[in-house]
Structure 1
Amino acid sequence: MATTPIKALPPGRHRLTIDVDGREREFWVYIPTQVEEPVDGWPVVFIFHGGLSNAPTMVRFCEMNDYGDTAGFVAVFPNGTGRLPTMKTWNAGMCCGYAKREEVDDIHFVEELLADLPQRLVVDPARIYATGMSNGGMMSYLLGDRLADRFAAIAPVGGTMGNDTCSPSRPVPVLHMHGTDDQFVRWEGGVGPRSKSKLDFFSVDHAIENWVAANHANTTPTVEHLPATVDDGTSIEKYTYAATGPGSAEVVLLKIHGGGHTWPGKESRLDLLGPTTHNLDANAEIWNFFQQYRLNG
């Protein structure tokens, strides 16, 4: 049940800080300006930046805050940790960088954000979701595993699991998007040719197999070839591992043939990240997926 905040934030952009484990942690909150607050409170989407990036860069990278402004959800962009203001990482299992080396407890950081946000705005606790790019996608997977009772669904993009296995306390619906030509977090796993961390990442198949098992989903997917609306050298296959009944949740994989380490539908300003598909709008796809799910419902 949503609670009335102590001091409500007005619509718009807010840069906020919170002290967690002796560190001042930053996060940016975008409250819709074009949609009225829902009766049950705002749905909230956490959007995690990639490794060696930061929250403001992620805002520009995916523009999910703009989508939320009209779709009607609050977009929260947490900032990772690192020695440089523009190069932050998340401790999401095997990866990455400063956060991993310093053993930063980013799960606790998110728990503190979940406690802090209702003091600033009216939140619908049944509609809290997580997505992210690369290391941020890995963070989404970790949250789905460790905080399954708080997140209604997750949607990693270009990031695989950071752990050997997962054991969420309840089935969590998963939407995963990944390019077959990703040179940073390779589809097949291993060390990406352009990876800065040079870590031996798990494969996409590893993530899907683990979550299909954890969610008690159908192990045989239905496969769809989505229509190509733009001739940009990419095509999309959709694999749906359907829920099998109560106590189960679906896992959906969008395989982007020819796609790089990018956010579908948003042109990257960095050529080294590889091709971006325009046959898929990640923001719309993620939100349409999230809207189907709520905790205890």
Structure 2
Amino acid sequence: METLRNFGTTAPGVVAIAAFAAFAALACSDQGDVTTEPPPGSGGAGGLAGPGSGGAGGLAGPATSGSGATGGPSATDGSSGVVAGAGGSGGRPGTGEAGAGGMGATASGSSSSGGETRSMGCDGTTAPTSGRFSIDVGGTTREYILAVPDDYDSSRAYRLIFAWHPRGGSAEQVATGFGGGYYGLQNRADGSAIFVSPEGLDQGWANTGGRDIAFLRAMLDRLRAELCIDQSRIFSTGFSYGGMMSYAIGCAMGDVFRAIAPMSGALYSGCEEGDSPVAMWGAHGDADDVVPLDNGRTARDVFIERNHCDPQTTPTEPSPCVSYEGCDAGYPVVWCEFSGGHTMPSNFGESIWSFFSQF
């Protein structure tokens, strides 16, 4: 298995890259059980298949670019796209900070109502259907799977949730497995969210030269233009390499993402300098011998500092999770160290949805 390199700007904890080079591809059942792969050489080319099938080509749907031009227009800054939050006061417009009694918006859009920041795609006459799509990013074709609610209404602003696969996994694996799809979030969202499962290069998300963050920005431009998204409620989650990508997103795009939920991740995909707070729920096994716990703690500490949290914690559900005290209003940090190795906690779907849905 090749050694990872060129992770861009790194933060403390990158010394463990050598350990990560031994990353195992991960398998999952329909119930979301996760085990590590046999030694390199036995897994076969192409990584894991999605539960039950996972054949090349993934979900049915357009095989190329989907609707809309590559990249698509992005929302522009303007007073119509900045709101203080329903009933809120004291929040600084455009910063994402919460005012008293409300939640600040983080991004601009075509219009706003009820504390939302609505994207350019709201009230559109057409929208992509669920399926696999491709997009050109700097001359490289990248792919993602999109899941739009069956009763999608272009006048309603939806949460947008990105779910990133582990090393050796696939977009199809995330879209159909891990507790019922998108890490168990899709069935809990009950039609209130749009989901995206991107396809990684070289089995994951090394973010070499910032290529994966560029991919994310291109997807966001297109999705904002084509779908009705609440831009103040954009989220990211993932396990292992997917957790690393979620940490990288929190570092680079805290002004865009409302919250992240990395599992068994680290800063191996880079951490751009920045000071934008982002709410975080994180989990890591105390016996992880693939991504050491200390590397997960180092990543966690970046967001404890960004959100101005105190070192003191209080227990929170589910046990043994803790919540850091004194964080900026609206930007909590919850940390769950569980007994186990390089895997996901048993209650990951319920816990992540509970965290995301509070925003």
TM over 0.5: yes
Q: 1:261 aligns with which of 342, 345, 350?
A: 342
Code of the residue aligned with 1:253 in structure 2: it is W
Matching residue of 2:137: 20
In structure 1, distance between residues paired with 2:270 and 2:204 = 20
More strand by share: 1
Q: CA RMSD in A?
A: 2.4
Asked if 1:76 is matched to 2:196, the reply is yes
- The structure with the largest alpha-carbon Rg is 2
Which ranges of structure 2 fall in alignment gaps of 5 or more residues?
A: 1-117
Distance 1:224 1:123, change over 3 A: closer
CA deviation profile, 1:55-110 (whole Å, cap 9, x unmatched): 1122244222642562521110011113xxxxx21124xxxxxxx4xx46111110
Code of the residue aligned with 1:237 in structure 2: it is P
Alignment of 1:224-243 (within 5 A): 224=316, 226=318, 236-243=319-326
SS of the equivalent of 1:89 reads coil
Which ranges of structure 1 fall in alignment gaps of 5 or more residues?
A: 83-87, 93-99, 189-202, 227-235, 265-276
Distance 1:163 1:106, change over 3 A: closer
Asked if 1:7 is matched to 2:126, the reply is yes
In structure 1, distance between residues paired with 2:279 and 2:242 = 17
In percent, how many aligned pairs have the same letter?
Answer: 28
Distance 1:165 1:42, change over 3 A: closer
Matching residue of 1:285: 351
In structure 2, distance between residues paired with 1:125 and 1:224 = 28
Alignment of 1:1-297 (within 5 A): 1-4=118-121, 5=124, 7-10=126-129, 13-33=130-150, 37=153, 40-62=156-178, 63-64=181-182, 66-67=186-187, 70=190, 72-82=192-202, 88-92=203-207, 100=208, 103=209, 105-162=211-268, 167-188=273-294, 203-224=295-316, 226=318, 236-246=319-329, 249-257=331-339, 259-264=340-345, 277=346, 280=347, 282-293=348-359
TM-score (norm 1): 0.72
The alpha carbon displacement at 1:38 in A equals 8.2
In structure 1, distance between residues paired with 2:247 and 2:258 = 12
CA deviation profile, 1:257-282 (whole Å, cap 9, x unmatched): 1x232333xxxxxxxxxxxx3xx2x1
Code of the residue aligned with 1:217 in structure 2: it is C
In structure 1, distance between residues paired with 2:120 and 2:270 = 38
SS of the equivalent of 1:67 reads helix
User: Contact 2:315 / 2:321 at 8 angstroms: preserved in 1?
Assistant: yes
TM-score (norm 2): 0.60
Distance 1:109 1:223, change over 3 A: same
Code of the residue aligned with 1:250 in structure 2: it is P
Structure number with higher relative contact order (C-alpha < 8 Å, ≥ 6 residues apart): 2
In structure 2, distance between residues paired with 1:245 and 1:25 = 36
In structure 2, distance between residues paired with 1:124 and 1:152 = 11
